Amino acid sequence: MVEHYTLGRKIFVGANYTVLAVLSLLCLVPLIHVLAVSFSSSQAATAGLVKLWPVDFTISSYKFVLAKPAFLTSIGVTLTRVAIGLTINMALTVLVAYPLSKEVGKFPYRTLYVWIFVVTMLFYGGLIPQYMIVKYTGIMDSIWALVLPGAVPVFNVVLLLNFFRGLPKELEEAAFIDGAGHWTTLWRIMVPLSAPALATLTLFATVGHWNAWFDGLIFMNSPDHYPLQSYLQTVVINRDLSLVSSADMKSLAEVSDRTAKAAQIFLGALPILLVYPFLQRFFMKGIVLGSVKG
Amino acid sequence: MLRNLKSPYWPLHLMLLPGLILVLIYSYGPMVGIVIAFQKFMPAKGGLFASDWTGLANFRYVLDMPDSMRVLNNTIIIALFKIVVGLIIPITVSLLLNEVRKELFKRGVQTLIYLPHFLSWIILGGILIDILSPSSGIVNQFLGLFGVKSIYFLGDNSWFRPVLVLSDVWKEFGFNTIVYLAALTGINPSLYEAAIVDGAGRWKQTLNVTLPGMMPIIVLTMTLALGNVLNAGFDQVFNLYSPQVYETGDIIDTFVYRIGLVDAQYGVATAVGLFKSVVSFTFISVSYYLAYRFANYRIF
Encode pLDDT of A31-84 as tens digits: 999 999 999 998 888 888 899 999 999 999 999 999 999 999 999 999 999 999
Give chain A positions within 8 Å (CB) of B239.
Answer: 233, 237
Angle at A126 between CA A124 and CA A129, to 5 degrees: 120
Contact B170 A26 (CB under 8 A): yes
Nearest beta carbon to residue A27 from set B131, B174, B277: B174
Contact indicator for B23, A117 with CB cutoff of 8 Å: yes
Distance, in angstroms, between B223 CA and closest chain A CA?
12
pLDDT at A222: 87
Confidence class for position A243, pLDDT limits 50, 70, 90: very low
Question: Taking residues A16-28, what's their average pLDDT?
Answer: 95
Give chain A positions within 8 Å (CB) of B253.
Answer: 127
Give chain A positions within 8 Å (CB) of B26.
Answer: 130, 133-134, 137, 148-151
Contact A92 B34 (CB under 8 A): no
Q: What is the pLDDT of residues B270-288, one digit of tens each?
A: 999 999 999 999 999 999 8
Tell me the percentage of chain A whose pLDDT exceeds 90. Answer: 66
Q: What is the pLDDT of residues A152-193, one digit of tens each?
A: 999 999 989 989 998 888 888 899 999 889 999 999 999 999
Contact B30 A125 (CB under 8 A): yes
Report yes or no: B145 at the A interface, CB cutoff 8 Å. no
pLDDT at A291: 39
Tell me the percentage of chain B whose pLDDT exceeds 70. Answer: 97
Of chain B residues 221-260, which have a CB less than 8 A from chain A?
Answer: 234-235, 238-239, 253, 256-257, 260
Of chain A residues 54-73, which have a CB less than 8 A from chain B?
Answer: none
Best of A81, A128, A132 to substitute, by most chain B Cβ atoms within 10 angstroms, is: A128
pLDDT at B297: 76
Distance of CA A22 to the CA centre of its chain: 26
Q: Please tell me the distance from the alpha carbon of residue B189 to that of residue B198, in angstroms, as a whole number.
A: 14
Q: Please tell me the distance from the alpha carbon of residue A237 to that of residue A230, in angstroms, as a whole number.
A: 10
Contact A131 B298 (CB under 8 A): no
Q: Please tell me the distance from the alpha carbon of residue A17 to that of residue A15, in angstroms, as a whole number.
A: 6
Residue A265 has φ and ψ, to the nearest 5°, of -60, -45
Distance, in angstroms, between A252 CA and closest chain B CA?
17
Distance of CA B161 to the CA centre of its chain: 15
Confidence class for position B2, pLDDT limits 50, 70, 90: very low
Confidence class for position B203, pLDDT limits 50, 70, 90: confident
pLDDT at A3: 58
Contact B31 A48 (CB under 8 A): no
pLDDT at A288: 46
Q: How many CB atoms lie within 10 A of CB A91?
A: 13
Confidence class for position A240, pLDDT limits 50, 70, 90: low
Contact A265 B130 (CB under 8 A): yes
pLDDT at A253: 59
Is the model's pLDDT at A286 over the cut of 80? no
Give chain B positions within 8 Å (CB) of A78.
Answer: none
Report yes or no: B25 at the A interface, CB cutoff 8 Å. yes
Confidence class for position B149, pLDDT limits 50, 70, 90: very high
Confidence class for position A252, pLDDT limits 50, 70, 90: low
